[in-house]
């Protein structure tokens, strides 16, 4: 549910996956350990649920990218889609940051990699459909640096159309 997701995101943003404890989730949500364990066996199961929800939202976003032509309508569609992507990425950054680490189950890291690959392919296909030559599109993965972990710190997605 949305309340559980928000608590999970808040705790992951503040502590990171490795440092977060079930106590942190319970304290932040104002629930007992017993209540937590009714829904999740451990923090890994909570993260799994969060990761799959982010994955589902990103897959919907990928499928929502409409035609991106060379005219004003195509520009508006692309701009709107990129704004929705940026909002989703920023909101779910604590989960996406964990995907980029090796602190979780490899299946969850693969889920993140698959979703980001889907996004990249969809974006690239839209540019090609708009008339950009495929060899002129250079996409680089987001880069993250170690530090406070804020969404703004060290994060960059670079797209070059030559």
> What is the pLDDT of the chain when averaged over all its residues?
79
User: Going along 2-161, which residue ranges are E strands?
Assistant: 137-143, 156-161
Q: What confidence tens digit (pLDDT) does each residue in 48-62 have? A: 889 888 888 988 888
More confident residue, 70 or 160: 70
Q: What confidence tens digit (pLDDT) does each residue in 60-104 have? A: 888 787 777 778 888 888 889 889 989 999 999 998 888 777 667
Scanning the structure block, which residue is given the tokens 């066996």?
41
Nearest C-alpha neighbor of 53 from the set 120, 108, 132: 108
Average pLDDT over residues 131-153: 56
Rounded distance between C-alpha atoms, residue 64 and residue 75, angstroms: 15
> 144 pLDDT band (50/70/90 cuts)?
very low
> 148 pLDDT band (50/70/90 cuts)?
very low
> 139 pLDDT band (50/70/90 cuts)?
low
């Amino acid at each position: 549910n949305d309340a559980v997701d928000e608590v999970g995101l808040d705790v992951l943003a503040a502590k990171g996956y490795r440092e977060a404890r079930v106590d942190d989730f319970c304290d932040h949500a104002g629930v007992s350990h017993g209540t937590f364990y009714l829904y999740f066996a451990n923090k890994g199961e909570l993260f799994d649920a969060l990761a799959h929800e982010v994955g589902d939202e990103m897959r919907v976003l990928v499928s929502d990218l409409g035609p991106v032509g060379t005219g004003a309508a195509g520009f508006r569609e692309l701009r709107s889609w990129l704004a929705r992507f940026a909002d989703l990425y920023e909101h779910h950054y604590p989960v996406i940051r964990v995907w980029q680490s090796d602190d979780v189950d490899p299946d969850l890291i693969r889920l993140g990699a698959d979703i980001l690959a889907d996004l990249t392919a969809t974006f690239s296909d839209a540019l090609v459909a708009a008339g950009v030559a495929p060899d002129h599109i250079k996409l680089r993965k987001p880069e993250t640096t170690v530090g406070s972990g804020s969404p703004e710190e060290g994060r960059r997605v670079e797209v070059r159309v030559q």
